[in-house]
């Protein structure tokens, strides 16, 4: 399945927000746009459209979603009553690859997506290899029993890293069982911060 494979540092510097922890570290060291002129380059005045596009790109790259897929998620959010922007982020949080990341089974969403597509994750005991699967309250997300013998997952448990991981309030993590349960729907404040969802709504409402 297609996804962005380019340098996260370059994108983070262009957008002005760390799309991953690595991107945030690079942005902290070089807090200016990429390019040959570096920190001496002069920023142009950004139009309203440019600001809206920037916010949309921040969310899209952060959650690792391509444009067509992001547009479909936005269209789905529009069908919910209430604030479209808030529901957009709620739907992004409910993606299976994001839940795997939030539970601490992966250190990045890209890695979580790979774990899902490679068949290491189950939903309610059934192998699910679709990263865009939307989880529901009461569902259990776990590592397949056959996959738990792999070195990566054994180290995750034996090192204690997973036990120390703090999952968000809407998820319940069972580190010893490499499993987690969706106990509630996420709220907008549970999703990524630093993005103005209203500008995204305005972008798609043009």
Q: What is the 3-state secondary structure (H, E, C) of 165-200?
A: CCCCCCEEEEHHHCEEEECCCCCHHHCCCCCCHHHH
Does 111 score more than 90 pLDDT?
yes
Q: Which tokens go with 171?
A: 């998820």
Quick check: 197 and 86 in contact, CB under 8 A?
A: yes
Fold (topology level) of 8-37+45-92+193-204: Ribosomal Protein S4 Delta 41; Chain A, domain 1 (1.10.1050)
Question: Are 8-37+45-92+193-204 and 95-182 in the same CATH fold?
Answer: no
Residue-level pLDDT at 31:
64
Q: Can you give the residue ranges of every domain in the chain? A: 8-37+45-92+193-204, 95-182
Quick check: 120 and 113 in contact, CB under 8 A?
A: no
CATH of 95-182, one of 1.10.260.40, 3.40.120.10, 3.10.290.10, 2.60.130.10: 3.10.290.10
Q: What average pLDDT does range 58-83 have in this prediction?
A: 93
Please give the residue that has the higher pLDDT: either 8 or 57. Answer: 57
Most confident of the following: 37-41, 45-49, 107-111, 168-172: 168-172
Residue-level pLDDT at 46:
77
Going by pLDDT thresholds of 50, 70 and 90, the confidence category of residue 1 is very low
Please give the residue that has the higher pLDDT: either 97 or 41. Answer: 97
Going by pLDDT thresholds of 50, 70 and 90, the confidence category of residue 32 is low
Does 42 score more than 80 pLDDT?
no
Distance of CA 68 to the CA centre of its chain: 16
Residue-level pLDDT at 25:
67
Going by pLDDT thresholds of 50, 70 and 90, the confidence category of residue 45 is confident
Going by pLDDT thresholds of 50, 70 and 90, the confidence category of residue 112 is very high
């Amino acid at each position: 399945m297609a996804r962005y494979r380019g340098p996260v540092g370059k994108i983070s510097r262009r957008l002005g927000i760390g799309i991953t922890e690595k991107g945030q570290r690079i942005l902290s060291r070089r807090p200016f746009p990429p390019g040959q002129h570096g920190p001496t380059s002069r920023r142009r005045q950004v139009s309203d459209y440019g600001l809206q596009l920037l916010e949309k790109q921040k969310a899209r790259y952060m959650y690792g979603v391509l444009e067509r897929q992001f547009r479909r998620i936005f269209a789905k959010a529009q069908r919910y009553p209430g604030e479209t922007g808030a529901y957009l982020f709620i739907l992004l949080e409910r993606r299976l690859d994001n839940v795997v990341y939030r539970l601490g089974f992966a250190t990045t969403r890209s890695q979580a997506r790979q774990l899902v597509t490679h068949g290491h994750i189950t939903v309610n005991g059934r192998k699910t290899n679709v990263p865009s699967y939307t989880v529901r309250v009461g569902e259990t997300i776990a590592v397949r029993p056959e996959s738990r013998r792999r070195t990566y997952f054994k180290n995750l448990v034996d090192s204690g890293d997973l036990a120390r991981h703090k999952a968000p309030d809407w998820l319940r993590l069972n580190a010893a069982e490499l499993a987690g349960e969706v106990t509630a729907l996420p709220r907008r404040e549970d999703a990524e911060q630093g993005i103005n969802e209203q500008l995204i709504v305005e972008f798609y409402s043009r």
